């Protein structure tokens, strides 16, 4: 009986100790003082004039296809060559002691020219002689005495036989001047000609503006991008009309004016007439916008999509005109206005409007 009483007392003591410990812990936790959170000061910025946008610098190739404008009709050794820009009367190449000159005509020079002949080819000869200072009459297309005298004077000035006639092959007809021409492969210094070789190549007048990029570069160019093509002091806007993958890991973008016409528009006549011309270009990935700029973090939006900034006077609605490089161009505040970038809190409170994610490219 004594042992039983001792055990009961021991159990009561242990139970009391456990209960006392639980109460002490509960009281301690319930009475803990709240932890103070230090508040940071708001961060402010200032609106300023700014420009945003993104463009990539590349080169556009102007291709001007050329066709054979004349074949060689002389036999002998090529003693001089003069490709490039030519005008009426200029020497294109020389075979032996005979220079081949350019005249303006839509029809080829197909025969020997002598007295009592008439036609468009005679008129082209007369125009050339007038330009060289040997003929002062009217270019009427009739090979008369005055034209013969002019031919003799021309031949004498060049130190050639004064025949008063012009052999087939001495003149090459080209459609317009000035014009940039190239010479055929056989028209090279020292080459021996037999006649019939492709002699003079001239541009057709067609123009192709092509932007050739590597595959990696092409992936950076949006299909709707505007390309600004520059020549001297002129800048022409262009758009992508189509693209073609090329061999070797490149892509060719065909460029046209926004209205579908030629990129150079009314300025095409100012371009050089070379078969291929390289032009500086800028691919506008993000259009340039200038105006009042604020840091992107300062622009906030409401649940219905309206945008605003917080100024020293409070919330101020703004319209976003463009963004990029961490800056947003807005309308609705003045340059110099202070805008709140952060209110200093670690996280936005429930229901707070969120910052507008306006960063681009």
pLDDT digits (tens, 9 = 90+) for 163-219: 999 999 999 999 999 888 999 999 999 999 999 999 999 988 889 999 999 999 999
Q: How far apart are CA 38 and CA 5, in angstroms?
A: 60
pLDDT digits (tens, 9 = 90+) for 75-103: 999 999 999 889 999 999 999 999 999 99
Residue 210 to residues 85, 287, 353, Cα–Cα distance (Å): 23, 21, 48
Write down the pLDDT at residue 69: 94
Q: How far apart are CA 60 and CA 207, in angstroms?
A: 12
Phi and psi of 16, rounded to 5°?
Answer: -65, -40
Asked if residues 319 and 290 have their Cβ atoms less than 8 Å apart, the reply is no
Write down the pLDDT at residue 201: 94
Write down the pLDDT at residue 247: 85
The yes-or-no verdict on residue 278 having pLDDT over 90 is: yes
Write down the pLDDT at residue 59: 98
Write down the pLDDT at residue 39: 55
How buried is 136 (Cβ within 10 angstroms: 0-12 exposed, 13-18 middle, 19+ buried)?
A: exposed
The yes-or-no verdict on residue 357 having pLDDT over 70 is: no
Peptide bond connecting 252 to the previous residue in cis, omega within 30 degrees of 0: no
The yes-or-no verdict on residue 356 having pLDDT over 70 is: no
pLDDT digits (tens, 9 = 90+) for 290-342: 999 999 999 999 999 999 999 999 999 999 999 888 999 999 999 999 999 99
pLDDT band per the 50, 70, 90 thresholds, residue 13? very low
Write down the pLDDT at residue 273: 74
Asked if residues 243 and 252 have their Cβ atoms less than 8 Å apart, the reply is yes
String of DSSP letters for 263-275: TTGGGGGGS---S
- Going along the chain from its start, the domains and CATH numbers come out as 43-51+289-355 (2.40.420.20), 55-64+206-287 (2.40.30.170), 68-106+170-203 (2.40.50), 111-167 (1.10.101.10)
Exposure string for 13-30, b = 16+ CB within 10 A, e = fewer? eeeeeeeeeeeeeeeeee
Asked if residues 296 and 309 have their Cβ atoms less than 8 Å apart, the reply is no
Q: How far apart are CA 129 and CA 119, in angstroms?
A: 16
Write down the pLDDT at residue 33: 46
Whole-model pTM?
0.58
The angle, 0 to 180 degrees and rounded to 10, between the axes of the packed helices 145-157 and 120-131 is 50
Q: What is the DSSP letter of 44?
A: E
Write down the pLDDT at residue 324: 85
Q: What is the CA radius of gyration of the chain?
A: 42
The yes-or-no verdict on residue 40 having pLDDT over 90 is: no
Asked if residues 72 and 88 have their Cβ atoms less than 8 Å apart, the reply is no
Contacts of 239 (CB under 8 A, 6+ apart): 224, 225, 226, 227, 255, 256, 257, 258
For the chain, the average pLDDT equals 87
Tokens coding 102 = 């350019």
Write down the pLDDT at residue 269: 82
Write down the pLDDT at residue 206: 87
Write down the pLDDT at residue 12: 36
Tokens coding 39 = 């508040």
Write down the pLDDT at residue 31: 42
Identify the residue whose tokens are 């492969």: 185
Most confident listed range (6-20, 40-54, 345-359): 40-54
Write down the pLDDT at residue 14: 40
């Amino acid at each position: 009986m004594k042992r039983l009483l001792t055990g009961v007392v021991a159990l009561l003591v242990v139970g009391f100790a456990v209960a006392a410990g639980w109460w002490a812990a509960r009281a301690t936790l319930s009475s803990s003082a709240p932890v103070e959170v230090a508040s940071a000061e708001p961060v402010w910025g200032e609106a300023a004039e700014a420009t945003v946008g993104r463009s990539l610098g590349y080169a556009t190739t102007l291709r001007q296809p050329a066709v054979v404008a004349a074949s060689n009709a002389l036999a002998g050794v090529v003693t001089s060559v003069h490709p490039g820009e030519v005008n009426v009367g200029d020497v294109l190449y020389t075979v032996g002691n005979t220079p081949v000159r350019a005249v303006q005509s839509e029809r080829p020079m197909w025969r020997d020219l002598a007295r009592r002949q008439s036609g468009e080819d005679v008129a082209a000869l007369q125009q050339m002689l007038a330009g060289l200072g040997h003929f002062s009459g009217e270019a009427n297309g009739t090979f008369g005495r005055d034209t013969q005298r002019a031919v003799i004077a021309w031949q004498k000035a060049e130190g050639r036989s004064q025949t008063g006639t012009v052999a087939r092959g001495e003149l090459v007809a080209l459609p317009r001047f000035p014009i940039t021409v190239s010479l055929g492969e056989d028209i090279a210094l020292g080459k021996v000609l037999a006649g019939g070789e492709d002699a003079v190549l001239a541009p057709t007048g067609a123009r192709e503006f092509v932007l050739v990029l590597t595959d990696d570069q092409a992936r950076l160019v949006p299909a709707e991008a505007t390309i600004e093509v520059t020549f001297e002091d002129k800048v022409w806007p262009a758009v992508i009309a189509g693209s073609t993958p090329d061999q070797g890991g490149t892509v060719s973008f065909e460029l046209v004016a926004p209205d579908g016409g030629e990129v150079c528009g009314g300025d095409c006549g100012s371009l050089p007439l070379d078969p291929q011309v390289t032009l500086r270009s800028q691919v506008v990935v993000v259009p340039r916008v200038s105006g009042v700029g604020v840091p992107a973090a300062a622009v906030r939006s409401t649940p219905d999509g309206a945008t605003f900034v917080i100024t020293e006077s409070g919330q101020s609605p703004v319209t976003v005109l463009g963004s990029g490089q961490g800056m947003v161009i807005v309308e609705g505040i003045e340059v110099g206005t202070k805008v709140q970038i952060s209110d200093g809190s670690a996280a936005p409170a429930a229901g707070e409007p969120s910052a507008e994610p306006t960063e681009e490219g």
